[in-house]
Amino acid sequence: MTSTAPYWGTAPIATHHMQSTGAFTSVAVRRSFGQNHVSAVPAPPGPPAPQQASSPSAAAAKAKRDWPASVRHYVQRAFASENSIPGINREEMETKLKQVISDSAESNTLLTVDWANKPLPQHMILDERQQSTYLNQNPPWGNGVAPLSIYETNQRSTDSPSKKRKSSDLDSSQDGLQNLPPWRFANSHNVFEARITHPDKRQRNDLSGKSTSKSHQAKNKKRFEDGQAGYVSPKQPFTPSQLNTPPQEMDQGPVIGRCQDLEKKYFRLTSAPNPDTVRPLPVLERTLDLLKRKWKKENNYSYICDQFKSLRQDLTVQHIKTEFTVNVYEIHARIALERGDLGEYNQCQTQLRALHSQHLGGHPEEFKAYRILYFIHTCNRTDMNNALADLTPEEKKVPAIKHALETRSALALGNYHRFAQLYLSTPNMGAYLMDMFVGRERLAALSNMCLSYKPSIKLRFFTEELGFESDDESARFICDHGGQAFLEDREGEVLILTGKAGRFFEAARQAAFQKVDIKGQI
């Protein structure tokens, strides 16, 4: 340990640590306490590790104080390996044990306590964690604190009412945190996780270890269920709606709904779903028909969107992954597209990508084409690259996808002439997506023309090159961007004085490309 030498000189805290631990070195059995140098409690010596010979430590304990046999037995039980709970390490357990015994010693109850039936320290810890989790789940304080505890379990973070995930949040490239995939959430909150989330995390471990004690379960039940029979899954604690369902189902199996209503308002789940409010597949199929009719007749987007969300939710909680599911998502995506609700559209698109990859039917090609157009709009090169990587040579020949790819290529090369032609011949509902970025591309082309043509071009030429419907429309477009000064009527023909405009539209072009706003959820 030659290199530790400088350490001693410069880091007094570390030195202290070393010395204090050094003092323990003579008592081999107390090694584990050596690290735990915060033990301010005048505690009885810890019992031995189960795999080590237990007699020396017992002797050591006797030497200092003669503990009642019941206490010693209790300590032995605490350390017995069959009583250990995964997720609670020995140090914690020992600290608790010390505290229990010294508390008892201080109050002179060592002989009166019923040690044989007293809960073991690890169970006490578990209980405390349950309670603190409960507090975290229902924070009495405001939002400022709550999200911290909520982030910790990635999935649950989305369920909290205090941190509502807007569909658009997923894509707001500005906000680093929101942009993260779920598995990163916990990660980026690592610092806090270390402080706050232990209880819950451990608890989850407990579940996997299947060692949750009976007494603890019973307590839990009493506390949160008002004495009703049932089982609370520690993964999703304190959800009364689970009560009627057997444990297996809650943990992994899908819910089977028994709601017969066709319509249902969408509520974000904050607990496991209640079968009474979930509609089974036959009902959902009728719901879809109803929604399609209503959309045609009433065209009420906010109602339809809400209904589709609850429809999707019911499908999800029942683990229904069929062509019907694909159908629902596709219809919702198209409706969202029609209304320019890109946030909702993108949610569907993401799901559809996964669903299509399972070959459940539907129209994967149509949506792959949309995806490409969507990434043109968001200027997301990483996603675009991924989308390109996903395509097979056959798919590239499908008209819709071919169109999207050509559009992409034309824009990448600045070929506005070709772009306008493609814009006017967009298959399916791609035009709704093209509309999203046609403005900025026209602006780019206008800026381009002003730099390269001298002294002027006819407005007619601009109209035709960029696929405007009429000279009026293109003139309005130029005026909207403040370029009326560059329009001149000469002998019955309108000219754009490109030479004069020069770099005028450059700033507008840059601004248009900078803000790609997809938060526009309706």
Partner 1 sequence: MEVLFRDFQTACQEGSGHLLAATISPIAPPSYLNRLDAIYKDSDVASISQDVARGLTKSAHAAIQYPNPQIDTWTEIYTAYWYAIGGIIAAEQPTSRPEWLRVYMAWKDLANTIIKHYSSGVLEAWTLPVLYMAGKHLRIFAIKADEAAAASGGSDTFNTGEIQEDIAGDFDKNQKLEDAARVINRMFTLCISDRAPLEESRKWGLYYTANLQFKTYFKLNSPSLCKNVIRALGAGRTDMPDLDAFPRSHIVTWKYYVGVLRFLEEDYAGAEESLTSAWHMCHHSATHNIELILTYLIPTCLLTRQLLPSPRLLSPYPRLAEIFTPLVDAIRSGSLSTFDAALADGEAEFVKRRIYLTLERGRDMCLRNLLRKVYLATGMDEEGKRRTRIRVAEFGAAIRLGERGVEGENLENDEVECMVANMICKNLIKGYISRAHGMVVLSKNGAFPGTGI
Q: Which stretch binds partner 1 (CB under 8 A): 97-105, 274-282, 409-417, 511-519?
A: 409-417
HSE-up (13 A, CA, CB side) for residue 392: 5
Instruction: Choose between 24 and 303: whose C-beta lies nearer to partner 1.
Output: 24
Q: 357 near 491, Cβ under 8 Å?
A: no
Is residue 522 close enough to count as binding partner 1 by CB under 8 A? no
The nearest distance, CB 7 to partner 1, in angstroms, is 6
Residues 199-258 that bind partner 1 (CB under 8 A): 235-236, 251-252, 254
The nearest distance, CB 22 to partner 1, in angstroms, is 6
Residues 410-429 that bind partner 1 (CB under 8 A): 412-418
Instruction: Choose between 225 and 506: whose C-beta lies nearer to partner 1.
Output: 506
Going by C-alpha positions, the residue among 351, 408, 398, 397 that lies closest to residue 374 is 408
Residues 345-374 that bind partner 1 (CB under 8 A): 347, 350-351, 354-355
C-alpha torsion 109→112→115→117, nearest 10: -120
Q: Which of 54, 99, 158, 212 binds partner 1 (CB under 8 A)?
A: 158
Phi, psi of 244 (to 5 degrees): -85, -5
Q: 466 near 420, Cβ under 8 Å?
A: yes
Residues in a beta bridge with 457: 496
CA distance between the termini of the chain: 66
Q: In the structure encoding, which two tokens stand for residue 291, read together?
A: 């929604």
Residues 309-348 that bind partner 1 (CB under 8 A): 312-313, 315-317, 319-321, 325, 329, 347
Residues in a beta bridge with 495: 458, 488
Q: 339 near 396, Cβ under 8 Å?
A: no
Is residue 183 close enough to count as binding partner 1 by CB under 8 A? yes
Could you write out the DSSP letters of every residue in 408-447? HHHHHTT-HHHHHHHHHT--TTHHHHHHHHHHHHHHHHHH
Instruction: Choose between 1 and 116: whose C-beta lies nearer to partner 1.
Output: 1
Is residue 272 close enough to count as binding partner 1 by CB under 8 A? yes
Helix, coil or strand: residue 496: strand
What string of H, E and C letters represents the secondary structure of 234-269? CCCCCCHHHCCCCHHHHHCCCCCCCCCCCCCCCCCC
Is residue 190 close enough to count as binding partner 1 by CB under 8 A? yes
Residues 455-474 that bind partner 1 (CB under 8 A): 455-458, 461, 464-465
Instruction: Choose between 349 and 428: whose C-beta lies nearer to partner 1.
Output: 349
- Count residues binding partner 1 (CB under 8 A): 93
d(C-alpha 69, C-alpha 90), whole Å: 22
Instruction: Choose between 118 and 500: whose C-beta lies nearer to partner 1.
Output: 500
Using the 8-state DSSP alphabet, how is residue 48 labeled? P
Q: Which stretch binds partner 1 (CB under 8 A): 137-145, 211-219, 307-315, 476-484?
A: 307-315
Instruction: Choose between 39 and 271: whose C-beta lies nearer to partner 1.
Output: 271
C-alpha torsion 73→77→79→84, nearest 10: -170
From residue 495, give the alpha-carbon distance in Å to each of 190, 476, 499. Answer: 61, 14, 11
Is residue 156 close enough to count as binding partner 1 by CB under 8 A? yes
The nearest distance, CB 353 to partner 1, in angstroms, is 8
Instruction: Choose between 72 and 90: whose C-beta lies nearer to partner 1.
Output: 90
430-452 and 416-424 helices, crossing angle to 10°: 150
Q: Which stretch binds partner 1 (CB under 8 A): 64-72, 112-120, 407-415, 512-520?
A: 407-415
Q: Which stretch binds partner 1 (CB under 8 A): 93-101, 151-159, 298-306, 431-439?
A: 151-159
Q: Which of 213, 453, 487, 519 binds partner 1 (CB under 8 A)?
A: 453
Q: Which stretch binds partner 1 (CB under 8 A): 95-103, 132-140, 184-192, 283-291?
A: 184-192
The nearest distance, CB 69 to partner 1, in angstroms, is 28
Contacting residues for 132 by C-beta, under 8 A, at least 6 apart: 199
Residue entry with tokens 């030479």: 499
Residues 75-134 that bind partner 1 (CB under 8 A): none
For residue 65, is it left (φ>0), alpha (ψ between -120 and 50) or beta? beta
Is residue 454 close enough to count as binding partner 1 by CB under 8 A? yes
Residues 4-63 that bind partner 1 (CB under 8 A): 4, 6-7, 10-11, 14, 17-18, 21-22, 24-25, 31-32, 34-35, 51-52
Could you give the string, one character per residue 475-504, with x where binding to partner 1 holds by CB under 8 A and - elsewhere? ------------------------x-----
Q: Which of 114, 389, 491, 514 binds partner 1 (CB under 8 A)?
A: 389
From residue 488, give the alpha-carbon distance in Å to each of 228, 476, 504. Answer: 82, 13, 16
